[in-house]
């Protein structure tokens, strides 16, 4: 982890916040950790730059995906990870769909949580085993499956995807796999947000999916994080 990483912890339980804060200092003794007990309190910190935001979904006031959407909109350049007692696969999928770069159940072992946060800060995606093993039928739209074989993280696989997608589409896909929202992708690549959506549509068609969450899961199945050589980005799970 980069020394001095800036982190915001949003949770309505002071004891849990302090415990998470201790874990974060274990990762980086120079971490700048701030706390908020609600979404409303967190929004008073808009304008302060945070590298990472850890948030619960169930707090007084704004809750669930509405809370996640509000934080993503207010801190659009921050990486957001949900840390919640809710372990429903559907909730996990919804959180990824709404822009979370990871989902850590509160029952997760501290050592695995540490690994997950290191991964996310390295622009990877963390999905818990519950989500990866969950049936996806209820969430998918019965698109025809992609004709592409499941690639291994190799130069050959990367070349295959480079042929299937344009350079801009590959750039958009890499940003997508890093959990970046469309507005940030547009700004980083230097294209209009509408163009980002068009490129994402092409990527979805190739993957055989129709949403951001489905793309994340499909990318995990195809080992695209390694195949596309997207820096340190990867998907990590704890042992079953």
Average pLDDT over residues 68-80: 92
Structural domain that includes position 212: 155-231
* Integer Rg of the chain from CA: 17
Structural domain tally of the chain? 2
Same domain, 51 and 89: yes
Same domain, 114 and 203: no
pLDDT at 225 (0 to 100): 60
Same domain, 38 and 98: yes
pLDDT at 69 (0 to 100): 93
User: What pLDDT band is residue 238 in, cutting at 50, 70 and 90?
Assistant: very low
Q: Specify whether the CB–CB gap between 179 and 100 falls below 8 A.
A: yes
Please report whether residue 35 resides in a domain.
yes
pLDDT at 210 (0 to 100): 75
Same domain, 124 and 165: no
Angstrom distance (rounded) from CA 64 to CA 239? 27
Same domain, 65 and 103: yes
Same domain, 129 and 175: no
Closest CA to 17 of 43, 38, 3, 2: 38
Same domain, 15 and 126: yes
Same domain, 114 and 82: yes
User: What pLDDT band is residue 239 in, cutting at 50, 70 and 90?
Assistant: very low
Is residue 142 scored above 60 in pLDDT?
no
pLDDT at 228 (0 to 100): 57
Please report whether residue 39 resides in a domain.
yes
Same domain, 15 and 104: yes
Is residue 224 scored above 70 in pLDDT?
no
Which tokens is 22 given?
């201790």
Same domain, 31 and 114: yes
Predicted TM-score (pTM) above 0.85: no
Output the domain CATH number for residue 194. 1.10.10.10
* CA 97 and chain centroid, separation: 9
Which tokens is 178 given?
């890093």
Query: What's the pLDDT tens digit per position in 174-200?
Result: 888 777 778 888 888 888 888 888 888
Same domain, 129 and 160: no
Q: Which of 133, 165, 189 is the last residue of a domain?
A: 133
> Across all residues in the chain, what is the average pLDDT?
78
Output the domain CATH number for residue 79. 3.40.50.2300
Is residue 93 scored above 80 in pLDDT?
yes
What is the DSSP code string of 1-69? --TT-EEEEE-S-HHHHHHHHHHHHHH-TT-EEEEESSHHHHHTTTTS--SEEEE-S--SSS-HHHHHH
Is residue 107 scored above 80 in pLDDT?
yes
pLDDT at 40 (0 to 100): 95
Query: What's the pLDDT tens digit per position in 115-141?
Result: 888 878 877 778 887 775 544 444 444
Please report whether residue 147 resides in a domain.
no
Same domain, 161 and 128: no
**pLDDT higher for 133 or 222?**
222
């Amino acid at each position: 982890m980069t020394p001095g990483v800036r982190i915001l912890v949003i949770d309505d339980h002071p004891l849990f916040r302090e415990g998470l804060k201790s874990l974060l200092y274990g990762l980086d003794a120079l971490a700048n950790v701030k706390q908020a007990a609600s979404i409303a309190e967190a929004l008073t910190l808009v304008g302060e730059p945070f590298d990472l935001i850890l948030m619960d979904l169930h707090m007084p006031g704004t809750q669930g995906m509405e809370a996640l959407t509000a934080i993503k909109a207010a801190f659009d350049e921050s990486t957001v990870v949900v840390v919640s007692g809710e372990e429903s696969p559907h909730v996990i999928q919804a959180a990824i769909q709404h822009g979370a770069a990871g989902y850590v159940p509160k029952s997760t072992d501290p050592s695995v949580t540490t690994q997950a946060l290191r991964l996310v800060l390295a622009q990877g995606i963390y999905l818990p085993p519950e989500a990866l093993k969950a049936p996806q039928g209820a969430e998918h739209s019965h698109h025809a499956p992609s004709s592409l074989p499941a690639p291994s993280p190799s130069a050959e696989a990367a070349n295959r995807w480079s042929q299937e997608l344009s350079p801009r589409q590959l750039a958009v896909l890499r940003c997508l796999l890093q959990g970046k929202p469309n507005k940030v992708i547009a700004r980083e690549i230097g294209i209009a947000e509408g163009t980002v959506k068009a490129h994402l549509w092409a990527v979805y068609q190739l993957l055989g999916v129709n949403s951001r969450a489905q793309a994340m899961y499909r990318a995990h199945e195809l080992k695209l994080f390694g195949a596309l050589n997207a820096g340190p980005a990867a998907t990590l799970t704890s042992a079953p």
